[in-house]
Amino acid sequence: MSESILVAVAQFAPTSDPAENLASIDELASRAADRGARVVVFPEYSSFFEKDLGPRFVEAAEPLDGPFVTGLGRIARRLDLHVVAGLVAVAGTDRFSNTLVAVSPTGALEATYRKLHLYDAFGQRESDWVEAGGIEQPETFDVDGFTVGLQTCYDVRFPEVTRLLVDAGVEVVLLPAEWVRGPLKEHHWRTLVTARAIENTVYVAAADHTPPVGVGNSMIVDPSGVEIATIGDERGIAVAELRRDRLEGVRRVNPSLALRRFGVVPRSASA
């Protein structure tokens, strides 16, 4: 078990060309690896993105063993690090699955996550085109002794999602997003990411798109809510050290997980 790991968030604007997106991921992941990162987190919709959801997303959907994930595997293997990114994935319906994939340093797929809460808010209707993920036991993976879990964008507005991850043993939450711009949206982004870290005493590494569509402000927040690495509105990476002693120290001072009196129960289909 390592006493610390370096984690990077990478911020860029994915396009409708998966090959171009893989090239951006390769370049940014290489910069993260050069700085010693063991994990690099890319945004939601890293494989394919256009401003407006529509049939082209369904046409661009790939399986988990398709060229985009295979390309991530090559990058992870060459750089010897874990790569997490958003995939427009085949859903087996007339919609697609908004999926996160985590690829290990061997190039193998080590965890996936399908977005639970779809962005039917602020004038958007993600559910018109996206198949929501099922409520299942979270898939986690290990990075040098730290237990890592995944969630996506709008899910951060639902604190029970992060709590389910923490109940599964997660100490580091990776949060790819496409957090669109709008009134107070940047304020919501920073507040919610920070709150999820504080209330669960975990590290949160959140990666967004750059403007003009996303707000940017990708960040890594520690278990006490301190922003230990941040990117502004430009393409790039930020790297931070995640420390075991910091995690344990915060939990000694603020044992909120041990003191809580409520659990999380999935809502029934008929509710």
pTM: 0.96
Report whether 142 contacts 148 (CB < 8 A): yes
- Using a pLDDT cut of 70, give the percent of the chain over it: 99
pLDDT at site 2: 86
Confidence band, pLDDT 50/70/90 cuts, at residue 1: confident
pLDDT at site 269: 57
Torsion of CA 90, 93, 94, 100, to 10 degrees: -30
pLDDT at site 267: 82
Task: Tell me: pLDDT of 234 over 80.
Answer: yes
pLDDT at site 219: 98
Active site members: 44, 115, 153
pLDDT at site 180: 93
What's the one-letter identity of residue 180? V
What mean pLDDT is predicted for residues 26-52? 98
What's the one-letter identity of residue 8? A
Q: d(Cα 37, Cα 5) in Å, to the nearest integer?
A: 7
For residue 62, what are its two tokens? 């790939």
The helix (H) or strand (E) run that includes residue 89 is strand 82-90
Core vs surface per residue 4-43: b (16+ CB within 10 A) or e? bbbbbbbbbbbeeebeebbebbbebbbbbbeeebbbbbbb
Report whether 25 contacts 42 (CB < 8 A): yes
Q: d(Cα 178, Cα 12) in Å, to the nearest integer?
A: 10
Q: What is the pLDDT of residues 146-161, one digit of tens each?
A: 999 999 999 999 999 9
Q: What is the pLDDT of residues 176-196, one digit of tens each?
A: 999 999 999 999 999 999 999
For residue 56, what are its two tokens? 């082209």
Question: Could you give the domains of the chain?
Answer: 4-253 (3.60.110.10)
What mean pLDDT is predicted for residues 213-235? 97
pLDDT at site 43: 98
